[in-house]
A = this chain, B = another copy of it.
Amino acid sequence: MSYNFSNKVQSLKPSAIREILKFTSLPGIIPFAAGNPAPQAFPVETITGILNKIMTERPVDALQYSISEGYTPLRDTLKKYMAEKHNSFNSEADDLIITSGAQQVMDLTAKALCNEGDTVICEEPSFIGSLNAFRSQGLHLSGVPLCDDGIDTEILEEKLKTEKNVRFIYVIPTFQNPSGLTMSLEKRREVYRLACKYDVIILEDNPYSDLRFAGESIPTIKSIDTESRVVYAGSFSKVLSPGIRVGFAISPKEVSSKLVVCKQVSDVHTNITYQMVADIFMNEYDYEEHLTGLKKIYRDKASLMLKHMDKNLSKEITYTAPQGGLFVWCKLPTDVDMLSYCKRAVENSVATVPGNAFIMNESDPCSYFRMNYSTPTDEQIVKGLSILGKLSLR
């Protein structure tokens, strides 16, 4: 038989990154294309101990159906943590629910807030997983370029004026993926002001900010959300483990109750054992010390990668040193064919992500590619950059 698919998913392709990820798992490929946490960043012994404790003391709670909002103790722990550490939870105005990774926050938010054909304004480039979540709801994506201090707010205002049915602005203000850029506080305030002026929601995606290894931390947009118009996506993927699929959404109470209904029909609730693990991990272990350890890992890996980029890569390739996150965003001269460069890199066993993956219209010209330093081993970083260094640009 021939199958009829819905308009919204008909044109959807598997994410280029996920497809490349499959490729990078082939033996011998150096995985600069991935976005995986470093394996040594997983607190394996601690998690094993917690699993044992849970399965000994409360096995039925860890295996039985649970509620869609998430495990109440973990929600309470995160509310407190996000209020005290990030000033990003207001118990009067907000609620917090547990999701199956931050990816689910994108999916649920788009589903709850938007009709097909509505517009979402995104930083350009932006995270492909989120862009595809919005595309899969049949949304129109409108990209706003990034400056060194974050989204171009003049173009943002222009878009807010001219685009039809803008429902929310999607931003990753800290260590943006893929650019690695961080939005200045001034810009955050300006984006918020514009959201208020044009009466739209902001979806703030913040998976990396607890992993800042250099520079000064900058308040979240959620922390200046006096009008209750920010939905905040948080995640345990980079600070504990991505394979467990535990994230969370902080949002105005009314929005939160719709997100819960959407979550209920999506997967009932998030794996409950690992919600308990995350809660015990944050409460019974030294979470700040754990983060300090992670920051050292990523600081060292970033610094190793930058050192070998500086040493090996053509001076025609430009990039900025990241202060956190997992990526270096590299720019080729405009007369270089970026796709051909990335293709030749992977033929030489070095996988990077062509920048097209992160822009609104994949067929637009793009001179960037993304490099990841968390997944490869130190040896792979050294070897991979030696290979890239020998690759001709043209």
How many protomers of this protein does the assembly include?
2
A318 contacts across to B, CB distance below 8 A: none
Q: A62 contacts the other chain (Cβ, under 8 Å)?
A: yes
Partner of A243, one of B101, B261, B271: B271
- Bound-state CA distance A273–B245 (Å) is 10
| Residues of B contacting A255 in the complex (Cβ-Cβ under 8 angstroms) | 3
Give the segment of A36-44, A203-211, A333-341 that binds chain B.
A36-44
Question: Which of chain B's residues has its CB closest to A35's CB?
Answer: B65
Interface segment, one of A82-90, A103-111, A186-194, A344-352: A103-111
A185 at the interface (CB under 8 A from B): no
Q: Which residues of B contact A116 (CB under 8 A)?
A: 116
A9-50 contacts to B (CB < 8 Å): 9, 12-15, 18, 21-22, 34-37, 39, 42, 44, 47-48
**Known A13-B261, A261-B136: A59·B37 in contact at CB below 8 Å:** no
- Judge whether A291 is part of the interface by a CB distance below 8 angstroms: no
The reply to whether A244 and B260 contact each other, CB–CB distance below 8 Å, is no
Closest to A55 in B: B48
Q: How far is the CA of A38 from the CA of B5 in the complex (A)?
A: 39
Of the candidates A3, A44, A65, the one having the most CB atoms from chain B within 10 angstroms of its own CB is: A65
Complex Cα distance A271/B244, Å?
5
In the complex, per-residue mask of A348-381: 1 if CB is within 8 Å of any chain B CB, else 0? 0000000000000000000000000000000000
A235 smallest CB distance to B (angstroms): 11
A245 neighbours in B (Cβ, 8 Å): 100, 267-272
Determine whether A56 belongs to the interface, using a CB cutoff of 8 Å to chain B: yes
Q: How far is the CA of A266 from the CA of B99 in the complex (A)?
A: 10
Q: A1-B228, A136-B262, A265-B107 are in contact. Are A244 and B63 (CB under 8 A)?
A: yes
A42 to B34, CA, bound (A): 37
| Contact (Cβ within 8 A) B264 A14 | yes
CB-defined contacts of A228 to chain B, threshold 8 Å: 1
Interface status of A227 (Cβ within 8 A of chain B):
yes
Which residues from chain B contact A107 at a C-beta distance below 8 Å?
265-267
**Interface size range on A against B:** 35 or more
Docked CA distance A133–B68 (Å): 14
Bound Cα distance from A224 to B148, whole angstroms:
60
Whether B266 contacts A104 by the Cβ 8 Å rule is yes
Question: With the chains together, A267 CA to B102 CA distance in Å?
Answer: 8
Contacts of A201 in B (CB 8 A): 3
User: Hey, which chain B residues are within 8 Å of A61, CB to CB?
Assistant: 243
A18 to B136, CA, bound (A): 27
Chain B nearest CB from A244 CB (Å) reads 6
| 27 A-B contact pairs sorted by A residue (CB < 8 Å) | A3-B201, A3-B252, A3-B254, A5-B258, A6-B115, A7-B115, A8-B111, A9-B258, A21-B67, A36-B64, A44-B60, A48-B55, A48-B56, A51-B55, A65-B237, A100-B266, A100-B267, A100-B271, A116-B116, A129-B265, A132-B264, A132-B265, A133-B265, A136-B262, A136-B265, A245-B271, A266-B266
**9 tightest A-B contacts by CB?**
A63-B241, A243-B272, A100-B267, A133-B265, A271-B271, A48-B55, A44-B59, A39-B60, A65-B242
